[in-house]
Amino acid sequence: MAIEIKKVGVIGAGQMGNGIAHVCALAGLDVVVQDISAEALENGIEAIKGNMARQVAKGTINASERDAAINLITMTEDLQALADADLVIEAVSENEQIKRKVYNAVCPVMKPEAILGTNTSSISITRLAAATDRPEKFIGVHFMNPVPVMELVELVRGIATDDDTFTSCKQFTDKLGKTNAVSEDFPAFMVNRILLPMINEAIYTLYEGVGSVESIDTAMRLGANHPMGPLQLADFIGLDTCLSIMQVLYEGLADTKYRPCPLLVKYVEAGWLGRKSGRGFYDYRGDTPVPTR
């Protein structure tokens, strides 16, 4: 039988984790955010408060809705706090080894009927599920960034995911006011399978000297009506994340069209990861972003 999700655990207080906590709390659900870093938890709750303040300023929510939502969020370093969650969503970095370590630690804490979800944007759900004690209750719940703004959630079933788990998670995304799109469990699912090769091609266009950062982004904004250019978007996503998704596509589908651009690799090796590190295809250290090439 499908369970009603009333309490949600989120592992990882970064951009995705705090965004998921934000929308769950606004939907009236109890939320516990767990992270091994006290600093990440501190930054996470500040980000939630800042984002909710913006929603209040825009009139999307009112002050009492914001206060009620913030009161539903608990930040903790203790995994035991997830023991009574109906759904736990893992939102740590896009690294399979780290995710497996998280599952080894959290599965013994979770109640037997609880669902374990992953916010992975590219890694096989079937393979991740096999590293848990509950493959039938394991599912991909892939939110888009920034979570409070983006309307879509990709629901991805592994080979073992049962119907009740899928139904519970579909009802959960409905409760959040999100639209879900169901994807088969293939590398990078739907959105990133289409989006990331486009970004990678934009980087090749830069690498080959066809256009500058500014001209490529202007061309796609004004010529294809994209809200932001592909290189600006890559910086927003994080170049390390872009690279890891391209590697998953390249290894998983064994097709040379998914080969990560050498320039993307070089930027990641330099630690120029985009907005979060202060430099990527643009330099964010001044008042306005300046192209780095």
Catalytic-role residue among 90, 154, 168, 244: 154
Catalytic-role residue among 90, 119, 142, 180: 142
Reduced to 3 states (helix: H, G, I; strand: E, B; else coil), residue 268 is helix
Residue 8 makes CB contacts below 8 A (sequence gap 6+) with: 20, 21, 24, 29, 30, 31, 32, 85, 86, 87, 88, 89, 172
**Residue 51 a catalytic site member:** no
Tokens (6 digits) for 66: 């914001």
Tokens (6 digits) for 16: 């995705």
Q: Is 29 left (phi over 0), alpha (psi -120 to 50) or beta?
A: beta
- With 0-12 / 13-18 / 19 or more C-beta atoms within 10 angstroms meaning exposed / middle / buried, residue 135 is buried
Q: Smallest Cα–Cα separation from 117: which of 161, 83, 78? A: 161
**Residue 168 a catalytic site member:** no
Beta pairing, strands 73-76 & 87-90: unpaired
**Residue 121 a catalytic site member:** yes
Catalytic-role residue among 119, 124, 192, 200: 192
159 to each of 120, 128, 145, how far by Cα in Å? Answer: 16, 11, 26
Catalytic-role residue among 18, 119, 121, 200: 121
**Residue 142 a catalytic site member:** yes
Tokens (6 digits) for 237: 């996503």
Show which residues are catalytic. 121, 142, 154, 192
